[in-house]
Amino acid sequence: MPTDLDPLLFGEIDPPQRLLMGPGPINAHPRVLRAMSADLLGQFDPEMTGYMNQVMALYRPIFGTRNQWTMLVDGTARAGIEAALVSMVAPGDVVLVVNFGRFGLLLTEILTRIGAVIETVDAPWGEVVPLDRIAEAIARCHPKVVATIHGDTSTTMAQPLDGFGELCRQAGALSYVDATATIGGMPLAADRWGVDVVTGGLQKCMGGPSGSAPITISDRAAEHLGRRRHIEQGIRRDDIVEGQGPRIQSNYFDLAMVMDYWSDKRLNHHTEATSMLYAARECARIVLSEGLEARYARHAAAGRAMTAGLRAMGLKVFGDDAYRMTNVTGVFIPAGVDGEAVRMAMRDQFEIEIGTAFGPLQGQIWRIGAMGYNAMKHKVLLTLAALEACLRMEGFRLPLGDAVPAALEAWRA
């Protein structure tokens, strides 16, 4: 700090108590924030490695798997995505991307940097890709990996995945699913789907902060990664055999090395983000103590209530109802209404944040979330009442007082 800078110029961080009802991040559960304040431990302390083993056990039922390699990638949800893709895909590999929104396009961006040969099977924003079209695309391009998003918050659509993994296996391809926006809020079934690698994040339905990416890896994918294993100089051991395949292009996101770190070998790779591991552990404890089916039902009720309340205002909901995510709802901004002015009024008058949109939907829809700690009846009702008031402030005529009763009725349905 420069000597002439008043040390009191920057005060203690004291953010407003804002209700985050956008597509994520959302408000973290207080238990998670408390867990993050616990004392740090050394990365090879027996208590620390014990917590790591507990995290592996806690996330298996959340992913719907018995995979041994269920762990964390240190970094935001995108770190998990990039670790999966850079570890699964070598330059020149053909990868088929199931693309139905902004985050499918993100997969192509990451794969371009890896040097993959990218093929896509696409759907318009607001729709999903039917399984038979994915099958046709696999038959056409013979990919080594097929990658998709589960729930794309840019379009609020959830891609059906029953049969997806088996389709890939029959073609000899590995499969990858990004479940950042759905883990902890919509059912994940990695084993039933037959999917090889699934990644997630904490900042949406899991009710935690961004900064840790849960991941699960099938035995089949683990064998593939093992063929690309490279041990850093300085930590090589006689009991760990290097693979003969092409080296994974990232050191930090090298899942073969991360797996050795999380295994009984405890081969040093990086210093585990201790406070984020505490957060991920507590997120999972909260999810499992509520019960997965009860939690999914709560998110579904919140989504129903939000959608019913918006429609009761006379607003048009975006996308195909049959494939809508339960935790994020897109709604068209009414003609003649300044969408950003409404968002600003929501924030300034009610301390509630709702989301804007990306790409072709920018300026056309708002994205309103109800997930994790915020998928609660009273928070949905507060958001709808505030939106009704802010729309009236912008001169939009709507049925007064209809949104909240409609949402209550839908919640109970």
> Which among 386, 393, 369 has a CA at the least distance from the CA of 305?
369
> Which among 259, 176, 208, 203 has a CA at the least distance from the CA of 77?
203
Q: Which residues pair with 379 in a beta bridge?
A: none
What pLDDT was estimated at residue 320?
A: 94
For residue 28, the tally of other CB atoms under 10 A from its CB is 22
Please list the ranges in the chain whose pLDDT falls under 50. 1
pLDDT, tens only, 319-343 = 999 999 999 999 999 999 999 999 9
What pLDDT was estimated at residue 140?
A: 97
Encoded tokens for 27: 């408000």
How far is the C-alpha of 295 from the C-alpha of 265, rounded, in Å? 36
What pLDDT was estimated at residue 401?
A: 93
pLDDT, tens only, 211-260 = 999 999 999 999 999 999 998 888 888 777 888 889 999 999 999 999 99
What pLDDT was estimated at residue 8?
A: 73
Length of the chain (residues): 413
CA distances from 213 to 201, 207, 339 (A): 5, 13, 32
Query: Domains of the chain by range and CATH?
Result: 30-287 (3.40.640.10), 292-412 (3.90.1150.10)
Task: Order the strands of the 94-99 sheet from edge to edge.
Answer: 69-74, 212-217, 197-199, 174-178, 145-149, 94-99, 117-122
Coil, helix or strand at residue 96:
strand
User: Is 73 within 8 Å of 210 (Cβ atoms)?
Assistant: no
User: Is 89 within 8 Å of 144 (Cβ atoms)?
Assistant: yes
Output the pTM of the full model. Answer: 0.96
Q: Which residue has the tokens 């961006």?
A: 109
How far is the C-alpha of 150 from the C-alpha of 207, rounded, in Å? 18
What pLDDT was estimated at residue 6?
A: 76
CA distances from 76 to 180, 198, 208, 319, 406 (A): 10, 15, 11, 28, 37
